[in-house]
């Protein structure tokens, strides 16, 4: 069982998960019969759980039940040798998903990938590459990555947008068939912000 972003789980749910881990049993929603389970749990988080315990947002008993064999992963910026292979993997994955041909990265794009600090780690890299695949008609270059412009917060703090956002939004909307929720996810902004931008730019 993999618990992703365990630090985001509310305390009420932490209690239920703690019981499953301790007693190895649970009840289905609406059920009355206890069901025994035997699972191995892997949990991940980017939060400082000890600090979360101190603030009352994370249960101490749940923390120690999970923290049997901790593995600390260094930030992506500290593993530069992994950036290239990961970017290549994501590019091929999204090219296949969007029915596009992946023609590789230019030298400038590779340099930009290696020098960018990646505060959002692998998830940010994945999002940047997905957006670049949509925008590129050939090899992905540094302009498709938009790393310089995408480091500037949008006015409402909802996400990251480039100075050529109208063209970017229009392109992404077209490639996802007008699915605004999917476009907002790819652009890294909220659906509300996207809807505002669409109205502001007169897009359909």
The token pair that represents 7 in the structure block: 């630090």
Alpha-carbon gap, residue 53 to 73, rounded angstroms: 21
**How much is the pLDDT for 58?**
94
Tell me the pLDDT tens digit for each residue of 9-55: 999 999 989 988 888 888 888 878 888 888 888 998 888 899 999 99
pLDDT band of residue 156 (cuts 50, 70, 90) is very low
- Contact in structure between 80 and 112 (CB atoms under 8 Å): no
Beta-bridge partner residues of 140 = 105
Tell me the pLDDT tens digit for each residue of 162-171: 446 677 788 8
User: Which residues have C-beta within 8 Å of that of residue 77, sequence separation ≥ 6?
Assistant: 117, 118
**How much is the pLDDT for 103?**
92
Beta-bridge partner residues of 42 = 2
**pTM for this one?**
0.59
The token pair that represents 78 in the structure block: 């500290």
Q: What is the mean pLDDT of the chain?
A: 84
CB atoms closer than 10 angstroms to residue 169: 23
The token pair that represents 94 in the structure block: 């999204």
User: Which residues have C-beta within 8 Å of that of residue 50, sequence separation ≥ 6?
Assistant: 63
Helix (H) / strand (E) element for 82: namely helix 80-97
- Contact in structure between 61 and 17 (CB atoms under 8 Å): no
- Contact in structure between 75 and 37 (CB atoms under 8 Å): no
Alpha-carbon gap, residue 132 to 163, rounded angstroms: 15
Beta-bridge partner residues of 160 = 153
Beta-bridge partner residues of 3 = 43
- Contact in structure between 196 and 158 (CB atoms under 8 Å): no
Residues in the chain, overall count: 204
**How much is the pLDDT for 60?**
95
- Contact in structure between 165 and 149 (CB atoms under 8 Å): no
- Contact in structure between 106 and 112 (CB atoms under 8 Å): no
pLDDT band of residue 148 (cuts 50, 70, 90) is low
């Amino acid at each position: 069982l993999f618990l992703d972003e365990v630090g985001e789980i509310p305390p009420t749910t932490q209690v239920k998960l703690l019981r499953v881990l301790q007693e190895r049993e649970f009840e289905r929603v609406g059920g009355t019969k206890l069901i025994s389970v035997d699972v191995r749990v892997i949990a991940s988080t980017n939060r400082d759980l000890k600090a979360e315990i101190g603030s009352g947002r994370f249960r101490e008993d749940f923390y120690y039940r999970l923290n049997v064999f901790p593995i600390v992963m260094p930030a992506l910026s500290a593993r530069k040798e992994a950036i290239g292979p990961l970017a290549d993997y994501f590019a091929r994955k999204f090219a296949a998903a969007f029915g596009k041909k992946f023609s590789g990265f230019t030298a400038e794009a590779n340099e930009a990938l290696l020098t960018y600090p990646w505060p959002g780690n692998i998830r940010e890299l994945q999002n940047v590459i997905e957006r670049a695949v949509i925008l590129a008609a050939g090899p992905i270059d540094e302009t498709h990555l938009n790393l310089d412009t995408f480091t500037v917060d949008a006015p409402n703090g909802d996400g990251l947008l480039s100075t050529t956002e109208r063209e970017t939004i229009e392109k992404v909307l077209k490639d996802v068939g007008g699915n605004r929720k999917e476009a907002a996810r790819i652009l890294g902004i909220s659906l509300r912000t996207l809807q505002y931008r669409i109205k502001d730019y007169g897009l359909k």
